Amino acid sequence: MCGIVGYIGDKPVLPLLINGLKRLEYRGYDSAGVAMIDQDKIWYKKRKGKIAELEVEINGFDLTSSVGLGHTRWATHGEPSEKNAHPHFDTEHKIALVHNGIIENYAQLKETLKAEGHVFASDTDSEVLVHLIAMCYDGDMAFSIRKALQLVRGTFGILVLSTHEPDKLFAARRGSPLVIGIGENETLVASDGSALVEHTRDVIYLEDNEMAVVNKHGAKVRTLQDTKVEKAVEKLPYDLVHLQKGGYPHFMLKEIFEQPETVWDSMRGRLLVEEGNAKLGGLQSCIDRMIHSSRLILTACGTSWHAALIGEYLIEKFAKIPVEVEYASEFRYRDPIISRVDTVLAITQSGETADTLAAVREAKQKGALALGMCNVVGSTIARETHAGVYLHAGPEIGVASTKAFTSQVATLALIALALGRMNQLSAEEGREIAQALKQLPDQIRQILEQASHIEKIAAKFMHHNHALYLGRGFNYPVALEGALKMKEISYIHAEGYPAAEMKHGPIALIDDQMPVIFIAVKDSVYEKVISNIEEVKARGGWVIAVVSEGDKACAKLCDEVIEIPYTIQSLMPVLTVIPFQLLAYYTAVMKGCDVDQPRNLAKSVTVE
């Protein structure tokens, strides 16, 4: 969601802040700002809109300051505007603060502060924090910040600078990530390692309820209760190359075309083809407990929830273990019945999704085995679960997830295979599944070779305002995911349904202006889906279908077809989703939409 970057060292800080904020643009934002110490005063600039507009605003300023902070805001309290952009300041303009998260009791705190004479300049909950710190200030910034944060309910990742102690930055977190980069005579702070990797790969991660006092020689960390904490220095698992477009016009297209490699990377060293098995090192310590669980609960949000639905089908088919899939945002609030013989697997690309993290904590509190699946090494989910598995898909910059989804499905297939072989799945069946998994990267390449054909379909599709995506069985979640991709980046209203449910309402929408996109591959429900296609054609609908390679009979019924190679039914989702990703991408580009940073969306949803 919002982005934070800070620097203290020997270099001019302003260009470093701007470059750092650009590295965080993919997270989604609506305004940006910077502040720095300049001749015993705080200099700042803020702008609504893109970082490029902020650059224009600061162009020509020749400042030699070497300590500062910056922020990209995604509006929660208060509309996107210059006054609501960060940083925020105390009344005397001696303290500057940037904040990610939500302060739940800000209204009460604001009234108290107003009564004490504090004057507010924004509509945000964040501004309350800086005034609270000023109210608590007694000559020691670290003490004042700790004291102020004791009064706060909610989540925060904050970075503070002050003319009171101009040679330091102060960082604290509860529920919103912060990482500190350790360089040579320079230290950086950011909400995401991507803002640090140009300068250093040596980092320390702040945990909840910890605060760091940062100078150019490093950081000293204590809890908010003032207990010293020893932090290990870790390595960022990627370098600058991973954060560049590599010749592609958008990160999203680059990430779509990376999927042959990223799907294989998620299986590399884990898939045992000759044995017909899988071994995931991160889960080995708890695999026995998983297989003896009364049920597995998969919890996630958005695209990860769609992957979880496929995971339900995979695990129940291969391992014969009951599986439930829960929206993480609902899971925590409905007082779920969880026991010590349950396993909860949280699935999240970023490892920081607030609702998913809350579901993990709920599961742990009730005694369940809490596992994580994420793509970001060192993320909060990775640190707070009992065990877990990384996707190894590399940084995903496009806000609309693509390669993380296919890696999640492939990894869930590995988990299902491993559990299945411990239960009722034979070695012969295991080898068939493993061979099919091994072939997926090359099959994805074959589909990507049809990109120009899919682009031509998009040229027709872009003129429509609504669409239905229909699939059955393993491909029903893919219909949901295809519709979500189209909504996210092209702003075309699209809905996904099980194909048989079309008759229970959505069929009323079908006319010659309604594209209907089917997944009609040759599987156990193929004939049923063909019947659904005929029903749509009888009502004048425009049919696009993803079909099995060489299926001429289905092609005759449809207006447009996209062929995919054959794989076993349970792994079809890894292939059928690729055309939908490309269709959404090309449609959005032709409509002139901001593909990598769609409106109102954030990459990592770290607030409720």
Number of neighbouring beta carbons within 10 Å of residue 311 = 27
**Distance between CA atoms of 386 and 285, rounded to whole angstroms?**
10
**Distance between CA atoms of 338 and 327, rounded to whole angstroms?**
15
Q: Residue 428 is encoded by which pair of tokens?
A: 């012969």
Q: Are 305 and 484 in contact (CB under 8 A)?
A: no
Q: What is the DSSP letter of 471?
A: E
Q: Is the peptide bond before 87 cis (omega within 30 degrees of 0)?
A: yes
Pick from 578, 585, 516: nearest CA to 253: 585
Q: Residue 36 is encoded by which pair of tokens?
A: 């720095």
DSSP secondary structure, 547-562, as one string: EETT-HHHHHH-SEEE
Q: Are 366 and 341 in contact (CB under 8 A)?
A: no
Q: Are 185 and 216 in contact (CB under 8 A)?
A: yes
User: Count of residues for the chain?
Assistant: 608
**Distance between CA atoms of 389 and 298, rounded to whole angstroms?**
14
Q: Residue 402 is encoded by which pair of tokens?
A: 């693509």
Number of neighbouring beta carbons within 10 Å of residue 380 = 27
Our answer to whether residue 286 is catalytic in this structure is no
Across the strands, what pairs with 562? 546
User: Catalytic pick from 22, 50, 110, 603?
Assistant: 603
Q: Are 337 and 353 in contact (CB under 8 A)?
A: no
Our answer to whether residue 22 is catalytic in this structure is no
Active site residues: 2, 603
